[in-house]
């Protein structure tokens, strides 16, 4: 199959996990009712983006968030990317995204590899590594539409990761993310367009809606960009569902007409002394 309908869910996140899970389930139901094949939730969709909240909201596979996602994917017959949640594994907490197929079977899990430790003068300061442990796996999974890659937020800033996914056959790369009001206006659309253009893939970015009462102010603007580098669709900062039609024949067409991946000079891509 070469065409799929994607739905990116942009929702507010509160400190009430049960309420957030119920809202996410309603959003998923609405997206499925409108014909979505693939539904994507935002980063930390049932936990405030705050170091103080990650461990108290964390769960192991099989917990409430995991069960809601598994059940929703099976009930609605969709592929479901569960944004991300804080995953507890022994003493460690990971920023983890689960993927379920149309039967509710888990087919992928990605632990955020690059942690958001930044200090922008006059802007955002954050140190995710104070509460979260980094993952170490490149995540590509199979679907009836072909291969897809998965990363979480800050991972997108590292072009090597997207390139590895594309070289492994990914035609779509999914990014639950929560850029802020410092980095979002400057880099959000630019980064999604650049990764789509460089690796000739569809890029899907699902963000939380903006809430000035929350400890972390999300930029929002969930986005879909195409292999030519253009924006297919984008939301503003409010709650909503972003729908987009992905034609995977366009991936093959762009790669055939502008064969960047084949033109790589791997014979000389080695740093050495001079």
Catalytic residues: 43, 112, 153
In Å, how far are 76, 146, 274 from 235, measured between CA atoms? 24, 26, 49
Instruction: Give the list of residues 6+ apart from residue 97 with CB closer than 8 angstroms, or none.
Output: 81, 82, 83, 84, 109, 110, 112, 150, 152, 176
88 Cβ neighbours under 8 A, 6+ residues apart: 55, 58, 59, 60
Token pair for residue 23? 């809202």
Tokens representing 211 are: 């809430």
d(CA 181, CA 123): 8
Backbone angles phi, psi at 163, to 5 degrees: -65, -40
Contact in structure between 198 and 187 (CB atoms under 8 Å): no
């Amino acid at each position: 199959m070469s065409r799929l309908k994607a739905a990116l869910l942009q929702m507010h996140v509160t400190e009430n996990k049960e309420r957030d899970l119920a809202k996410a389930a309603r959003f998923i139901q609405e997206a499925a009712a409108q014909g979505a094949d693939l539904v994507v939730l935002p980063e930390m969709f049932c936990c405030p983006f705050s170091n103080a909240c990650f461990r108290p909201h964390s769960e192991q596979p099989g917990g409430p968030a995991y069960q809601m996602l598994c059940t929703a994917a099976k009930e609605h017959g969709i592929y479901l990317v569960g944004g991300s949640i804080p995953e507890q594994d022994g003493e460690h907490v990971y920023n983890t995204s689960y993927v379920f197929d149309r039967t509710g079977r888990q087919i992928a899990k990605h632990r955020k590899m690059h942690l958001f430790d930044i200090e922008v003068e006059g802007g955002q300061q954050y140190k995710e590594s104070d509460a979260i442990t980094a993952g170490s796996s490149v995540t590509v999974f199979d679907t009836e539409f072909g291969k897809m890659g998965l990363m979480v937020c800050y991972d997108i800033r590292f072009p090597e990761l997207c390139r590895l996914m594309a070289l492994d056959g990914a035609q779509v790369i999914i990014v639950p993310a929560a850029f802020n009001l410092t980095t979002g206006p400057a880099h959000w659309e630019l980064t999604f367009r650049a990764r789509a253009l460089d690796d000739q893939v569809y890029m899907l970015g699902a963000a939380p809606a903006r809430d000035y009462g929350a400890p972390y102010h999300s930029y929002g603007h969930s986005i879909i960009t195409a292999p030519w580098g253009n924006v297919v669709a984008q939301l503003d900062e409010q709650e909503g569902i972003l729908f987009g039609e992905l034609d995977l024949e366009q991936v093959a067409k762009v790669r055939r007409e502008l064969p960047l991946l084949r033109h790589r000079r791997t014979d000389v891509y080695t740093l050495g002394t001079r």
